Structure 1
Amino acid sequence: MTAEGRTAGTVPVLRVRNLVKEYGAGEARVRALRGVSLDVERGDYVAIMGASGSGKSTLMNILGCLDVPTSGTYLIDGADAGRLDEHRLALLRNRRVGFVFQSFNLIPRMSALANVELPLVYGGVRPAERRARALAALEQVGLTDRVHHQPNQLSGGQQQRVAVARALVTAPALLLADEPTGNLDTASTRDVLEILDRLSASGRTIVLITHEDDVAGHAKRVIRLVDGEIVDDRRQAPVDGPPPRLPEAAP
């Protein structure tokens, strides 16, 4: 069994075909995505890179079922997102996608434990099971001693680890991380990337959106976007030994 609790098969976790996204109309029309196609297999760790305006954030929103394409198809874990109404799309997003955002997106007046439980509350999971699963997720990210702390009592790195635990608690088919180290210092960046490395080694499927080469270097595969098109898609040689350490911040 994979870490997602399903038997690995031939169906990719993500299958995207000819994805187009346009904004505006007429002369003001902007094509953010121009026929993007890709597969992400179960257990893969993919970094999607691109400069500002490359389309990577638009692609992330569509992959996470936060937006819909103008045309093209998108299947997640075999389910065709384009054929779902808003309610079923929300269920798909809650059950099969775990999100980690640059800004953490934690609820300020809730404890770390309550923040991690939140997706299970929306999913109708009973309180005892919610608590057990949330505690297990917090243990995975090394925060068993911070379960009752509120976000303002945690460092930025600890807040992001809570966000990773919240993303894991539903056992999603896909972990989708959007610039997860963008607001972190060097030490916290290293901690979060090491957690993602361990999750990948355990079989998690991860798609990481980033503009940083050091961060993308942790992934097994790097996809580069330019002007809404994939210009490079290559697998990286595995790194022997522990994950590479990032350079220390300048004084």
Structure 2
Amino acid sequence: MSAPSADTPSTDATPPVLRVRDLIKEYGEGDARVRALRGVNLDVERGDYVAIMGASGSGKSTLMNILGCLDIPTSGTYEIDGSDVGRLDERQLAILRNRRVGFVFQSFNLIPRMSALANVELPLVYGGIGQAERRARALAALEQVGLTDRVHHEPNQLSGGQQQRVAVARALVTAPALLLADEPTGNLDTASTGDVLEILDRLSASGRTIVLITHENDVAAHAKRVIRLVDGEIVEDRRQAPVDGPPPRMTEKAAAR
């Protein structure tokens, strides 16, 4: 049987955006073998906002890399938006990463000497989208993060918080099924952290599915669900707000008015 394309629909009526079963990841061999993930099982429903927490060495970054199709597990299965990732070849994986997953990294990963607009357009260039459409979509994404007055600025002309907002816009421009954010506030000051978290709150309230890696309780407090890893295993899975409701911090702000 041939592998499905990244656009193959699931047979489920409403599959979770993420479905992970018995995920194991090992590094090394023999006495040097390290088991970074130990049979992780996880579903993330459409519209959920999940914070994955854990100390250094807990396996949270390994899990993020696998969820983002940047690494492969030793064993277990992983589906994203109904597609079995283990059955996809390299070309299909590249399509899936480009169309279904938006990435936000701690270090921004913007291209120097390219404007904010050009950075946001980049995933659409790789996706073969025409110039007029990608320009319109990139401008709309930058408007979502409040940077319409910075579209022609290069990264070195932007603050850290502005650079991360460009990175969020770049992650959104393909309208992905899943937004993956790896310590997105780790390099930001308090004010910029608040700006980025407010954007993520708004995206969540609009129905965007978000999985966030963080070690900070204040950041995790914005999520609807908190998962804690210890030694490659889920030891806590706590619901803070309904999947179809606003994030907790947005609810707190509304209550305070």
SS in 2 for 1:52: coil
Q: Is residue 30 of structure 2 the alignment partner of residue 33 of structure 1?
A: no
Task: Quote the RMSD (CA, aligned, Å).
Answer: 1.5
Is the Cα–Cα contact under 8 Å of residues 218 and 243 in structure 1 kept in the other structure? no
Q: 1:45 & 1:243 partners in 2: Cα distance? A: 19
Q: 1:158 & 1:76 partners in 2: Cα distance? A: 30
Per-residue deviation, residues 42-72 of structure 1 (Å, max 9, x unmatched): 0000000000000000000000000000000
Q: Is residue 52 of structure 2 the alignment partner of residue 11 of structure 1?
A: no
Q: Which amino acid aligns with 1:72?
A: G
Is the Cα–Cα contact under 8 Å of residues 194 and 243 in structure 1 kept in the other structure? no
Percent identical residues: 87
Offset of residue 233 of structure 1:
0.3
Offset of residue 87 of structure 1:
1.3
Per-residue deviation, residues 159-185 of structure 1 (Å, max 9, x unmatched): 000000000000000000000000000
Identify the match of residue 58 of structure 1 among 47, 58, 62: 62
Name the residue aligned to 2:97.
Answer: 93
Q: 2:132 & 2:254 partners in 1: Cα distance? A: 36
Distance 1:243 1:182, change over 3 A: farther
Offset of residue 241 of structure 1:
3.8
Name the residue aligned to 2:51.
Answer: 47
Distance 1:79 1:243, change over 3 A: farther
Offset of residue 243 of structure 1:
8.2
Q: Is residue 173 of structure 2 the alignment partner of residue 169 of structure 1?
A: yes
Identify the match of residue 221 of structure 2 among 217, 223, 227: 217
Using structure 1 for the length normalisation, give the TM-score.
0.93
Q: 1:100 & 1:162 partners in 2: Cα distance? A: 10
Per-residue deviation, residues 205-238 of structure 1 (Å, max 9, x unmatched): 0000000000000000000000000000010143
Q: Structure 2: state its 5+ residue gaps.
A: 1-8, 242-247
Q: Is residue 208 of structure 2 the alignment partner of residue 180 of structure 1?
A: no
Name the residue aligned to 1:3.
Answer: none
Name the residue aligned to 2:235.
Answer: 231
Q: 2:253 & 2:164 partners in 1: Cα distance? A: 21
Is the Cα–Cα contact under 8 Å of residues 33 and 228 in structure 1 kept in the other structure? yes
Q: 2:157 & 2:37 partners in 1: Cα distance? A: 40
Identify the match of residue 113 of structure 2 among 98, 109, 114: 109
Identify the match of residue 242 of structure 1 among 228, 243, 253: 253
Q: Is residue 159 of structure 2 the alignment partner of residue 155 of structure 1?
A: yes
How many residues are paired up?
Answer: 238
Name the residue aligned to 1:196.
Answer: 200
Q: 2:37 & 2:113 partners in 1: Cα distance? A: 38
SS in 2 for 1:242: helix
Name the residue aligned to 1:249.
Answer: none
Q: Structure 1: state its 5+ residue gaps.
A: 1-5, 245-251
Q: 1:53 & 1:146 partners in 2: Cα distance? A: 38
Using structure 2 for the length normalisation, give the TM-score.
0.90
Offset of residue 10 of structure 1:
2.3
Q: 1:242 & 1:216 partners in 2: Cα distance? A: 16
Q: 1:185 & 1:44 partners in 2: Cα distance? A: 26
Question: Where in structure 1 do 4 or more consecutive aligned residues deviate above 2 Å?
Answer: 237-244
Q: Which amino acid aligns with 1:62?
A: I
